[in-house]
Amino acid sequence: MEAWRNVNRETLEVDVLIVGAGPAGLSAALRLAQLQKQQGGEPLSIAVIEKAPDAGRHQLSGALLDPSTLHELIPEYESKGAPLGTAVDNDNIYFLTQKSKFRLPITPPPFQNHGNYIISLSHFTKWLASQVEAEGIDLFWGFPGQHVLYEGSRVIGVRTGDRGLDKHGKPKGAFEPGADIHAKVTIFADGVRGHLTRQLYSDLQIGRDAEPAQFAIGIKELWDIPKDRLKPGTVIHTLGYPLRQEEFGGSWLYAMNDGRISIGFVVGLEYHDPLFDPHAAFQHFKRHPFITRILDGGQVVRYGAKAVPEGGWNTQPKLFADGALIVGDAANFVNSTRLKGIHLAMRSGMLAAETALAAVRRNDTSSNTLSAYKSRVDASAIKTELYPMRNVHQSFGAGLIAGGAYAGIAMFTNGRLLPDWHGHAGHRVMRTIEKYYGLEKRDILVPSNAAPIDRKITFDKVTGAHYSGTHHDEDQPVHLLVQTDVCHSICGSEFGHPCVKFCPANVYEMVDDGTGGKRLQINASNCVHCKTCDIMDPYQVITWVAPEGGEGPSYDGM
């Protein structure tokens, strides 16, 4: 081991460490502050670390906010200036074919959004962070957690990422080793496919008794269109084109004030076609006459992508361990039928805070004591909402019709009478080129659903990466670890380099290796931190780790 790796690291001792300043982590922090105030006693030391350079920069969602949890966490949220955006005015669901659209005569209950708000999650998170900071809690922006620290099987904290390493991993002039933050309780709020929670999956086997997690990728753009085109508060969801029966997903289009719209496309990361490209599907969607008419003459202002944990209740991992709790997207708390998770993330953060505070006060943060968090979740609105829908996403694995029927029955019976449906991890259902296409010869470098790029309505991925505002110093170690030679040896013939297709930011490219073959080039500086590669790569050889603190997309209004 190189000598500099043995550097003395700063250590910081806190009572509660929260990893990730999204809705879950910030709600946990705020709830801790509130409870301390109510209960009195020695104040806890609390730290929140976050890889984004400041509040909200890595937050992306549709987003429709169900304000139920917000009511409880911050009852006076209106007077405190919560950026609730635009109240939902009307709901519309369409089924698209290539040329036409059919409006669903009734809007199914999960899609009814009366009383909800169209928000920007990045703005909402920024506001939530200001509420936390007002309570005197330290928020450390630009400090990614990089390694979970253990003492035996007990989680004792997190080591933050090193700064100032060059692309070969050698210290540069301004090298600063990451610090060790030790905590009695660490709350993992590191988001969908959190890279630290993932360490808990492998080190503590927290997923052993859960269904395999299921994910989707959501790709989003903000547009400014002529102001009179859509009434603010209009909510449109579509199913169907350009997805086939075998792909699960759909679109959203939310109209906010001043002609600003949020438009996006979600595809389940369990598609079979190895050459399928979710970003291309989004472009086809925008080229549909119905959508083009809305966007025409408008301008794209932001782009981003993020994975969504869609598997539901049965995919939640073990939520606690010695010294650790898991909240929000990291624990897969999303209602994929309602396309909502912010309120669940917030609630799980609150419940974790209650558990953590009680445990620290008792001076017992063992798994046994922290298991109270699971009981709280089971007694909460999280279960009431997610349990009846626990099989819906899995059932769509059997196709749109079967899935739709199952979802319908689940809805009307409140989830009773139905057997549990077992899902498979998405990367395992991707088929090989030969299984999917037979022996027919194909150009594996081109997506099967390639879309024309006109740079007016449709854009290539590199342009998207630009609109995400993403930035990474080129002279640092690549933060996507691919330690294998399968990319140039067998992946081409087996799967046709699916990473090139599923990455929405052109991070992965197969380029000529100069000897007639192909080699993988990783454009890590394009990465928008969506985690799709970590999830969907069929060999599971891509590991997403945090780049230098403060880097990544720069979402504003997303």
Partner 1 sequence: MILVIAEQKDGKLNRASWETIAAAQQLSGGAMPITVAVAGERVSGAAGELAQAEVTEVIAAEHAALAHYTPDAFVQALGQVIGEVKPALVFFPHTYQTRDFSPTLATKLDRALVTDVIGVKQTGGTPTFSRPMFQGKLTADVQAQGPAPHLVTIQIGAFRADAAQKGSSAAPIKNQPVTVDEGKLRQKPEAPFQEAKQAVDLSQAERIVAVGRGIKSQENIAVAEQLAKAFGAELAASRPICDNGWLPMERQIGSSGQTVAPKLYVALGISGAIQHLVGMKGSRTIVAINKDAEAPVFEVADYGIQGDLFELAPAIIAELQK
Residues forming the site for partner 1 (CB under 8 A): 10, 12, 138, 140, 142-143, 176, 179, 455, 462-463, 465-466, 471-475, 511-512, 514, 521, 523, 525
State which residue, 306 or 461, has the beta carbon closest to partner 1: 461
Report the alpha-carbon distance of residue 35 to residue 445 in Å, rounded.
Answer: 56
Q: How far is the CB of 35 from partner 1 (least distance, A)?
A: 24
493: which DSSP letter?
A: H
Q: How far is the CB of 474 from partner 1 (least distance, A)?
A: 5
State which residue, 258 or 474, has the beta carbon closest to partner 1: 474
State which residue, 374 or 466, has the beta carbon closest to partner 1: 466
Report the alpha-carbon distance of residue 340 to residue 351 in Å, rounded.
Answer: 18
State which residue, 181 or 255, has the beta carbon closest to partner 1: 181
State which residue, 72 or 138, has the beta carbon closest to partner 1: 138
∠ Cα 113 119 125 (to 5°): 130
State which residue, 95 or 467, has the beta carbon closest to partner 1: 467
327: which DSSP letter?
A: -
Are 496 and 489 in contact by the 8 Å Cβ rule? The answer is no
Cβ-based neighbours of 31, under 8 Å, separated by 6 or more: 73, 349, 350, 353, 354
Report the alpha-carbon distance of residue 494 to residue 483 in Å, rounded.
Answer: 18
State which residue, 287 or 431, has the beta carbon closest to partner 1: 287
Q: How far is the CB of 365 from partner 1 (least distance, A)?
A: 23
**Region at 491 (left for phi over 0; alpha for psi -120 to 50; beta for the rest):** alpha
Amino acid at 306: K
Report the alpha-carbon distance of residue 227 to residue 109 in Å, rounded.
Answer: 30
The position carrying tokens 């508060």 is 233
State which residue, 209 or 512, has the beta carbon closest to partner 1: 512
State which residue, 18 or 93, has the beta carbon closest to partner 1: 18
Q: How far is the CB of 458 from partner 1 (least distance, A)?
A: 13
Strands (E), 441-507: 480-482
- Assign 3-class secondary structure to 200-252: HHHHHCCCCCCCCCCEEEEEEEEEECCCCCCCCCEEEEEEECCCCCCCCEEEE
* Residue 16, SS3 per DSSP: strand
Q: How far is the CB of 411 from partner 1 (least distance, A)?
A: 44
Cβ-based neighbours of 524, under 8 Å, separated by 6 or more: 472, 478, 479, 480, 507, 547
Q: How far is the CB of 489 from partner 1 (least distance, A)?
A: 21
Closest to 195 (Cα-Cα) out of 463, 507, 547: 547
Q: How far is the CB of 499 from partner 1 (least distance, A)?
A: 17
Q: How far is the CB of 521 from partner 1 (least distance, A)?
A: 7
Q: How far is the CB of 471 from partner 1 (least distance, A)?
A: 7
State which residue, 234 or 525, has the beta carbon closest to partner 1: 525
Q: How far is the CB of 523 from partner 1 (least distance, A)?
A: 7
Helix pair angle (121-134, 23-39), 10° resolution? 20
Report the alpha-carbon distance of residue 461 to residue 289 in Å, rounded.
Answer: 22
Q: How far is the CB of 46 from partner 1 (least distance, A)?
A: 13
Are 529 and 558 in contact by the 8 Å Cβ rule? The answer is no
Give me 324's structure tokens.
């650790």
State which residue, 325 or 480, has the beta carbon closest to partner 1: 480
Are 262 and 253 in contact by the 8 Å Cβ rule? The answer is yes
Report the alpha-carbon distance of residue 139 to residue 409 in Å, rounded.
Answer: 45
State which residue, 354 or 551, has the beta carbon closest to partner 1: 551
Strands (E), 244-342: 249-255, 260-268, 299-309, 320-321, 324-326
Q: How far is the CB of 220 from partner 1 (least distance, A)?
A: 18
State which residue, 94 or 140, has the beta carbon closest to partner 1: 140
Give me 331's structure tokens.
């624990």
The position carrying tokens 């990730």 is 20
Q: How far is the CB of 318 from partner 1 (least distance, A)?
A: 31
Q: How far is the CB of 504 from partner 1 (least distance, A)?
A: 15
Are 509 and 501 in contact by the 8 Å Cβ rule? The answer is no
CA gyration radius for the chain? Answer: 23
Are 457 and 284 in contact by the 8 Å Cβ rule? The answer is no
